[in-house]
Amino acid sequence: MNEDINRKRLNDLEDNIRQDLDMLKEYEDKERYETDPRHKAKYRQEIKRQHESLTHNQEEYDELRRQMTPEELQNVTDLLQQKNAKLDKIQKLLPPIWNIPQHQNPNFTGRKGILAGLRLALTSGEPAAWKQAITGMGGVGKTQLTVEYIYRHKADYRVIWWVRSEESATIAADYASLAVDLNLPEKDFEDQTEIAKAVKRWLEHNPDWLLIFDNAQDPSGIRNYLPQGGAGHVIITSRNPLWGSVAKLLPAPIFDRAESIEFLCKRTGQEDKKAADALADELGDLPLALEQAGAYIETT
Ligand SMILES: Nc1ncnc2c1ncn2[C@@H]1O[C@H](COP(=O)(O)OP(=O)(O)OP(=O)(O)O)[C@@H](O)[C@H]1O
Ligand SMILES: [Mg+2]
């Protein structure tokens, strides 16, 4: 009797996984050619559902394993592996939800320690370290550091969203467009505050996202948008050094001299280190000023 029940459960499990595999194969083909962000968001939700169903399959399988032999389970073992592999493959096909306006800077120079520190802090699991505020004067390279971080670690995130934070209107607009790309039910609401709340809730309940508040003025300007917690990371860039109440501080200094020289030589294609040293000295090792000088030298 018990054996019959187990056999039936095994058959059901097999059928179940087979059906999911067929569906996943269909997705795989469709996803390849999908460009509409709303459809992509739908696939993402389906994939999430499939992950949940995989967990259920796994639980059922574990129970059956206690009562049946490996030989009897061989088929379903193979099928489970296939489903796992297919889900992985499909997930990789789907590009992250992403609105990064800048390209990676081919002349990006130095900053090894800061980038390593930023990564370490964000992934440390320490309370509040998942929010980092890069602070420093205009032109010192806060935004550049963030862009470089994004390109180095983009494979680790499913959502990377840039929020233009100098004004409250652009913050609200960028949150509203994230609601569209996430395909949240609230995306068409009239009231942007409600949309922002929905995005915030999503962030608080989902992993693997990176949010950038670029050029934020002060904590009060972004407080209503910052998720309370969750399994994601936040980078704030700001000229204002006073972020201790909402994030860990990561001050960005000017280039050290070696970085200035390396940058100038790379930027201008010239190798005269003495001249580069003198110029860097004159420009106070400020990356923005060095970039402008480099651009000028390149054209003359
Ligand atoms: N590490 C770097 N390597 C190469 N170029 C850099 C680097 N950092 C900054 N720059 C150059 O300096 C310019 C200014 O940097 P960035 O825009 O990041 O400054 P910022 O600190 O964000 O300034 P602001 O406060 O005005 O936003 C960049 O456009 C780039 O040309
Ligand atoms: Mg900036």
Secondary structure (DSSP) of 167-202: SHHHHHHHHHHHHHHTT-GGGG-S-HHHHHHHHHHH
Examine the domain organization and report whether 72 and 129 are in the same domain: no
Q: Is the dihedral of CA 18, 21, 26, 27 positive or negative?
A: positive
Residues 117 and 175 in one domain: yes
Looking at residue 299, what is its pLDDT? 81
| Residue 22 sits in the same domain as residue 161 | no
Domain that holds residue 214: 98-251
Q: Which ligand is nearest the CA of 292, by number?
A: 1
Q: Whose CA is nearest to atom 16 of ligand 1?
A: 141
Domain end position, chosen among 62, 77, 95:
95
Task: Give 194 Cα–ligand 2 centroid separation in angstroms.
Answer: 28
234-274 tens-digit pLDDT: 999 999 999 999 999 999 999 999 999 999 999 999 999 99
**Residue 1 pLDDT > 70:** no
Q: Which of 180, 156, 166, 145 is nearest to 232 (CA)?
A: 156
Residue 286 and residue 213 share a domain: no
With 0-12 / 13-18 / 19 or more C-beta atoms within 10 angstroms meaning exposed / middle / buried, residue 140 is buried
For the cut 70, the answer to whether the pLDDT of residue 37 exceeds it is: no
- Whether 226 and 157 share a structural domain: yes
Q: What is the pLDDT of residue 106?
A: 92
Confidence grade of residue 49 (pLDDT, cut at 50, 70, 90): confident
* Number of the ligand closest to the Cα of 217: 1
Please report the beta strands in the chain, taking only residues with DSSP state E, as ranges in sequence order.
97-98, 131-135, 159-164, 207-214, 231-238, 248-251
123 and 240 in a single domain? The answer is yes
Phi/psi region, residue 141 (left: phi>0; alpha: psi -120 to 50; beta: rest), is left
Residue 20 C-beta-side C-alpha neighbours within 13 Å: 28
Cα(166) to centroid of ligand 2, in Å? 10
DSSP at 99: -
Residue identified by tokens 């959502």 is: 159
Q: Does 107 contact ligand 1 (Cβ within 6 A)?
A: yes
Residues 110 and 152 in one domain: yes
Q: What is the largest CA-CA distance in the chain?
A: 90
- Do 76 and 127 reside in the same domain of the chain? no
Q: Are 129 and 244 part of one and the same domain?
A: yes
Question: Relative to the CA of 215, which ligand 1 atom is closest?
Answer: 27
Which residue owns the Cα nearest ligand 1 atom 29?
288
- Tell me, yes or no, whether 228 and 279 share the same domain: no
| Pocket flag, ligand 1, residue 110 (CB < 6 Å) | yes
Q: What is the pLDDT of residues 157-174, one digit of tens each?
A: 989 999 999 999 999 999
CA of 124 to the centre of ligand 1 (A): 26
Write the DSSP assignment of 53-79 as a string of letters: HHHHHHHHHHHHHTTS-HHHHHHHHHH
State pLDDT tens for residues 73-106.
999 999 999 999 998 888 777 778 999 999 999 9
Q: Is 144 in the pocket of ligand 1 (CB under 6 A)?
A: yes
pLDDT of amino acid 46:
84
The CATH number covering residue 228 comes to 3.40.50.300
Q: Distance between CA 154 and CA 131 in Å, rounded?
A: 17
Q: Ligand 1: which residue has its CA nearest to atom 26?
A: 138
Q: Which of 288, 296, 298 to mutate to test the pocket of ligand 1 (most atoms within 8 A of CB)?
A: 288
Query: CA 295, CA 123: separation in Å to the nearest integer?
Result: 36
Same-domain pairing of 105 and 208: yes
Tens-digit pLDDT profile for residues 176-218: 999 999 989 999 999 999 999 999 999 999 989 999 999 999 9
Question: Domain ends where: 231, 251, 271?
Answer: 251
**For the chain, what's the residue count?**
300
Residues 6+ apart with CB under 8 A from 28: 86, 89, 90, 93
Report the domain count for the chain. Answer: 3
Which of 61, 95, 129 is the last residue before a domain boundary? 95
| Residues 269 and 243 reside in one and the same domain | no
Residue nearest to atom 31 of ligand 1 (CA): 291
